[in-house]
Amino acid sequence: MKSVKHILARKGSAVIAVPADTTVLNVLKLMAERNIGSVVVTDNGQYIGLVTERDYARKIILMGKHSDDTTAGDIISTNLPRITPKSSVESCMIIMSENNIRYLPVFDEADELCGIISINDVVYETIHSQKETIEQLHSYIQST
């Protein structure tokens, strides 16, 4: 079974992070520039949560706030489930489904953030793994 370390090996473990006092407008510009749906929020360089497009829609637009005078720290998602590079892709899919979330922070043994995975990463890895299994089965059938 594939694990999160396979996802991170494929996509890399670099994360895009902003300080908590960054305006939401600047976070949105960064997301658009990098074509990403979430940004890590830090306080003194330490992970404190994520800001996602969903956070923007629900905590800014629907609440009548303004992106240029609200900070990332004001709208972050905190207390997300924590996974490690050893976590299985299947368990991540279950966690994401049960918690209705699209992003998971990945922490190493020292409890340091080492990546972010998205539901798209999990789906891609699942499809890729299934294709490998199908190819192996075809090879086995042809060899008998």
Q: Torsion over CA of 63, 64, 69 and 75, rounded to 10 degrees? A: 20
CA distances, 43 to each of 16, 77, 87, 112 (Å):
14, 14, 26, 14
Count of domains for the chain: 1
Task: Give the phi and the psi of residue 102 in degrees, each rounded to 5.
Answer: -115, -10
Give the ranges where 1-144 is alpha helix by DSSP (H). 4-11, 24-34, 53-56, 72-75, 89-99, 119-143
Instruction: Residue 30: give the domain boundaries.
Output: 4-143
pLDDT number for residue 139 = 84
pLDDT number for residue 142 = 86
pTM of the model: 0.87
pLDDT number for residue 59 = 94
By the 10 Å C-beta count (0-12 exposed, 13-18 middle, 19+ buried), 96 is classed as buried
CATH number at residue 103: 3.10.580.10
pLDDT number for residue 17 = 97
pLDDT of 58-103, one tens digit each? 999 889 999 999 999 999 999 999 999 999 999 999 999 999 999 9
Residue 144 has pLDDT above 80, yes or no: no
CA atoms within 13 A on the CB side of 101: 23
pLDDT of 4-39, one tens digit each? 999 999 998 899 999 999 999 999 999 999 999 999
